[in-house]
Structure 1
C-alpha cells in the first residue's frame, strides 16, 4: 500500500471516530484521548494529521463547504446559462431540467455525507455549521447569478428575497437530512423542484361545506 493510501485510511479512521464521538459525547466533551482510543491510533499519529480537535472539525467542515460549493457552482452556472440563452417558449422547461440536475447532484453528495452532516447540525455538534452551509450556498449562487448577468428582483428587500429563493432550499434539505425515514434522492429532488414553483396558495386548501 502506498504512503498516500495509508495516510488517507488513517485520516478516514480518525474522522469516523470523531463523528461517532461528537454524536455520543458532544464536541465540547470529547478529548484527543477519546479520539485515539476510538480510532485505534496513537496520540503521535493523531498529531501528525491534526493539531487538535478544533483543527479536525475545521478540516471536516471545510471539505463539506468546498464540495457543496463546487457542486452548486458547476450546476447553477449551467442552469443560469441555459435559462439566459434559451428562447422564451422553452425557458421554463430548460430551467426545470437544469434545476433538477443541480438538486440531484447536490443531494447525492449530501446523502453520502448524511451522518456527518446530521451530527454536525445536532445539538452535540457545531452550532455554526448550518449557518455556514447557508452562507456557502448563498454566496456561490449569488456569484454565479452575477456571472450570468442575472440579479435578484427588488420586489422584496434583498434579505427576504434570498431567504425565499436560496435559503429556503437549505432549510428543506436540513429537514430531509434529519428525517428518520427520508425519501430517496430522486424523490426528494422532485419535492425540491415542486417547492420552487408552488406558492403557499397552492399548498393550502379549504374544503367547501
Structure 2
C-alpha cells in the first residue's frame, strides 16, 4: 500500500513538473511551485527528491531507460524480425525497434516535450545518439563485421551516421510529433544510407 502511495505521489510530482515546464522554463520553477501544483507538502517532495535538479535528472533517466529497453531488445538478434521493412541480419538500426521507440515518444509526448524543452534541450538527444551508436556497434560485433566509414575518420563518420537518424527524431519532437510513428520510421529507414549527392536531383 505504501508503495502505491509513493508511486501516486511521484506521478503527481511528475505531472506538476510537466505542466510547469510547458508554461515556463525550468530555471523559473521552484520547489514551492512544484509542491503547490502537485498538492503536496514540501517535506513530501524532499522525501522523494533532493531538489528540482534531481527530479528533472531522474525523469530524463527514466525516459532514457525506457528507450534503451525498446531499442536494445534482444541483444542476440541485431536484425529485424520477419515482416519489418528491409528485414535483414545486417540491419543494425532495426526498423521494428526504431518504430517501437518512436511510438513510445509519441505516447509520452507531453513528458518528453517538457524534458527536452520541445526538442531544444540536448541532454536526451546526446544520450539517444549514444544509445543508437551502441546498438550499431553491438550489432556489428555480433555479426562479426566492422564499421566502415569509407575512409572518413571513425569519429566523424560515426557522428554523421548517428546524427542523421537522431536529428530526424528530434525535428519530429520539435514539430509536435504530428506524423504517425511509422511515417517517421520509414523516413529514417529509407534515408539512413543515402549520401548528400543522392539527395540532390540531377
Aligned to 1:94: 88
Aligned to 1:150: 145
What is the aligned-residue RMSD (CA, Å)?
Answer: 2.7
| Shift in CA distance, 45/69, structure 1 to aligned 2, threshold 3 Å | same
Q: What CA distance in whole angstroms lies between the structure 1 residues aligned with 2:88 and 2:201?
A: 30
| Shift in CA distance, 112/45, structure 1 to aligned 2, threshold 3 Å | same
Aligned to 2:25: 26
Aligned to 1:65: 64
Normalising by structure 1, what TM-score?
0.80
> How far does residue 61 in structure 1 lie from its aligned partner after superposition?
0.9
Task: Give the unaligned 5+ runs of structure 2.
Answer: none
Does the CA contact (< 8 Å) of 2:31 and 2:52 recur in 1? Answer: yes
Q: What CA distance in whole angstroms lies between the structure 2 residues aligned with 1:203 and 1:154?
A: 19
Task: Report SS of the residue matched to 1:28.
Answer: helix
Instruction: Determine which of 178, 185, 188 is the counterpart of 1:189.
Output: 185
How many residues end up aligned between the 2 structures? 195
> How far does residue 183 in structure 1 lie from its aligned partner after superposition?
0.8
> How far does residue 153 in structure 1 lie from its aligned partner after superposition?
0.9
TM alignment of 1:73-84, pairs within 5 A: 73-74=72-73, 77-80=76-79
> How far does residue 40 in structure 1 lie from its aligned partner after superposition?
1.0
Normalising by structure 2, what TM-score?
0.82
| Shift in CA distance, 127/205, structure 1 to aligned 2, threshold 3 Å | closer
Does the CA contact (< 8 Å) of 2:67 and 2:101 recur in 1? Answer: yes
Deviations 1:111-152 (A, max 9, x none): 122222222222898553322332333234334433443321
| Shift in CA distance, 168/75, structure 1 to aligned 2, threshold 3 Å | farther
Instruction: Determine which of 88, 95, 107 is the counterpart of 2:102.
Output: 107
Aligned to 2:155: 159
Pick the structure with greater CA Rg: 1
TM alignment of 1:120-131, pairs within 5 A: 120-122=115-117, 126-131=121-126
Aligned to 1:88: none
| Shift in CA distance, 145/115, structure 1 to aligned 2, threshold 3 Å | farther
| Shift in CA distance, 20/168, structure 1 to aligned 2, threshold 3 Å | same
1:201 and 2:197 are equivalent in the alignment: yes
Does the CA contact (< 8 Å) of 1:27 and 1:126 recur in 2? Answer: no
User: Whose helix proportion is higher, 1 or 2?
Assistant: 1
Higher relative contact order (CA 8 A, sep 6+): 1
| Shift in CA distance, 103/60, structure 1 to aligned 2, threshold 3 Å | same
